[in-house]
Each structure stands twice: as structure tokens, then as C-alpha cells.
Amino acid sequence: MAEQSQRTDTASPEDLAQQVIREIVDGVLGLGDVHPTTNLFQCGARSLHIAVVRANILDRYGVDIPLADMYSEPSVERLAGLLLEALASASEESGTLAAPTAHRGMSDDD
């Protein structure tokens, strides 16, 4: 357990963002550990799934990512990049630094 915490503490923002997106995608699609560059549409995702992923990001981080951007290349890697861009933009607007964090709270199923 301490090893996982240590990895999270030293993980890059990109790694954390991919972890967050993987968790959200797994919750929506139940895909498990999908490769970061795999197109989610090729894994069975539909446009509605991507919209639900977007809603989860909005709920969790308060940032709105345009659906068109998410549809253009829906992979964990690309969605993580979009999340980081949205967080950076939001932090510039508010003057505070925002970064993704690993979700350790209750799930929607709890």
C-alpha cells in the first residue's frame, strides 16, 4: 500500500491524468486497464459513453472539455491531455494551480 502511495506522490501530472481517465473510463465502460493510445471507439465505446466520461470529468474537476475534442481521438492518453489543458486553463483564469489527483473516495456505486 505504501508503495502505491509513493508512486502516486512521484508520478508526473501526465501519469496522474491518465490514471484518472483510466478510472473514469473503467467506471463507464468496464474496460479494465486499456492501453493509453487505444481508441475507445474500437473498444466498444459509443458517443454517449464519451459524453458520460465528460460529465464525470466535469463533476470531479469542474472543467468542461468540448465533446468535439473528446470525439476526435478518444484515447486515455488524449483525454488525459485534454484534462490537463482544461485544468491549466482553469488555473490561469482563477490564478490557482490545479492538478489531477488519484481518486480515493467513494465511487458512484457506494
pLDDT tens sequence for the chain (110 residues): 444 444 456 788 889 999 999 999 999 999 888 899 999 999 999 999 999 999 999 999 999 999 999 999 899 999 999 999 999 998 887 766 555 655 544 444 44
Q: Give the pTM.
A: 0.76
Contact yes or no for 91/102 (Cβ under 8 A)? no
Longest dimension (CA), the chain: 39
- DSSP letter, residue 33: S
Q: Helix, strand or coil for residue 80? A: helix
Which class does domain 23-93 fall in? mainly alpha
Give the domain ranges of the chain.
Answer: 23-93
